[in-house]
Amino acid sequence: MTAHPAGMTYAEYLQLPTLLSAQQPKSDLHDEMLFIVIHQTKELWLKQMLHEVDLAIHLVASDDFAGAYKALARVSRIQSVMTLSWDVLATMTPVDYSAFRHVLGTSSGFQSAQFRELEYKFGIKDPKFLDYQEGGTEGRARLQAALDAPSLWETADAARVRQGAASWLDVYCHSDRWFALYQLAEKMVDIDDALSGWRHKHLLTVERIIGMKPGTGGSSGARYLASTLEKRAFPELWAIRTQL
């Protein structure tokens, strides 16, 4: 049993002095604080999602589907919270943002190693995103590891083979027989659905604040985001809908 240190405070347990000192605006403009807090919060949620997806992959590889359902359900709930946070950022007007945008320099959410790692762990394995992380950095190493390791999709498909289902279409056509796999697939579709919703709301928020201007860090901004709207982590599970 873990000991509870006498006298430990809430602030000490959560390391609040460190956490709350991590917001360091580069300007004296009021709205930059919101921009920082929103993006730092997203990175914390990404950290938790990676934690849950790692567990889900491990559990599915062990054919512990019930345990994986809980982890994946938690991921989709976190995605909902992240999507809602775009509404908070959208309270920032184009004038508000343009006043401090220059202080961001070449930094961009496009460079988020955790977001790319999450995509890789789902199964969206585009190796070009390795190039946006400097060699020798922790982010680059984690991305390479995620690229090389079995993704959630690959792990789930291997489980389907072990269970004896001929295909995912077979799982859906005979859902009573393959109910554990069927439930797993639907939890994965929940995540993919939520990811698409997040991408769409991200695009709308960017268009609302900067229109069609290029993004920081060299990305094309809204045009790039629009190009990602049809990305699917689990395209085979979507194609099944047409075949049923």
Assign 148 to helix, strand or coil.
Answer: helix
3 pLDDT exceeds 70?
A: no
The predicted-structure confidence for 56-99, as pLDDT tens digits, reads as follows 999 999 999 999 999 999 999 999 999 999 999 999 999 999 99
Q: What is the pTM of this model?
A: 0.94
What's the chain's average pLDDT? 94
2 pLDDT exceeds 60?
A: no
> 15 in the Ramachandran plot: left (φ > 0), alpha (ψ -120 to 50) or beta?
left
54 pLDDT exceeds 60?
A: yes
The least confident of 66-70, 138-142, 144-148, 180-184 is 138-142
211 pLDDT exceeds 50?
A: yes
CB atoms within 10 A of CB 206: 23
The Cα-based distances of 89 to 103, 145, 157, 206, 218 in angstroms read 18, 32, 38, 10, 21
1 pLDDT exceeds 70?
A: no
The Cα–Cα gap between 112 and 115 comes to: 5
The Cα–Cα gap between 66 and 72 comes to: 10
Where do we find the tokens 């049993």? 1
90 CB-side CA count, 13 A: 14
